[in-house]
Amino acid sequence: MLTTVEQDNQIINVVIVEDYKLTRVGLRSALNEFDNINVVGEAEDAIKGLEVIKQKKPDVVLMDLGLPEMNGIEATQKVKELSMETKVIILTSHDREEEVLAALGSGASAYCLKDIDPTTLASVIKNVSKGACWLDSAVAQVALNLFPKPENINLQNSTEISDARAQLTEREFEVLRLLVKGKSNTEIAKELIVSVHTAKAHVCSILQKLCVDDRVQAAVKAIKENII
């Protein structure tokens, strides 16, 4: 019997870009257990992966980092150039600080380690397809370690932080806090008791005010610059 992720019937089309055939086969087999996830294509390198993505126009791409010819970070940038609507989930065994930040900066919506269990991965795919961001707990700690919080901040830093906060309305600040927690527009709307359209409008305003391209970059900037 197939499992539906959180009983959501929306079909999510997925492309897998992974150089190890055994891993690709395992991922496809595991994801096929969920009746609202449809693996529409796969590739063993980024060049072929981009061609598959152009043809299939998936909702979500599972992207390895250590790919031949072109790495997953550069490939992610090219995916986002093709379509900002296509979400990229990094699925890798790498957890080095530089790779985590580079992947998020390239436009990835999630960063998962390969020991993730299938049910959790399916849930990440579902939430990312709706606009959420997600970090593996081990990776999240790596990311937070890059943003040291000194015991004392000088007046200049304090002023800069206040200026960044001052750009946001009270409601936008609430929305940004939920973005940092990885909430989707639907989840933000539910928590703040507003429409999804209103939640999306707040997110768009936040991206514009923080001068970032997507919600992941907004979350990273909020943590890095101590806005939250």
Q: How many domains does the chain have?
A: 2
- 37 inside domain: yes
66 plus 140 within the same structural domain = yes
pTM over 0.75: no
Residues 72 and 100 in one domain: yes
DSSP track, 167-181: TS-HHHHHHHHHHHT
**Res 146: pLDDT:** 52
Question: Average pLDDT for residues 211-226, to the nearest whole number?
Answer: 77
94: amino acid identity, one letter: H
d(CA 26, CA 55): 23
Query: What pLDDT digit, counting tens, does each position of 64-120 carry?
Result: 999 988 999 999 999 998 988 999 999 998 877 778 878 877 889 999 999 999 999
Q: What is the CATH number of the domain that holds 115?
A: 3.40.50.2300
Mean pLDDT over 9-23 rounds to 94
Its domain, for residue 103, covers 5-144
* CB distance 65 to 38 below 8 Å: no
Q: Are residues 81 and 118 in the same domain?
A: yes
The pLDDT value recorded for residue 78 is: 93
For residues 137 and 187, state if they share a domain: no
Q: Are residues 23 and 116 in the same domain?
A: yes
- Tell which residue, 137, 122, 155, 128, has the closest CA to residue 216: 128
Give me the CATH number covering residue 184.
1.10.10.10
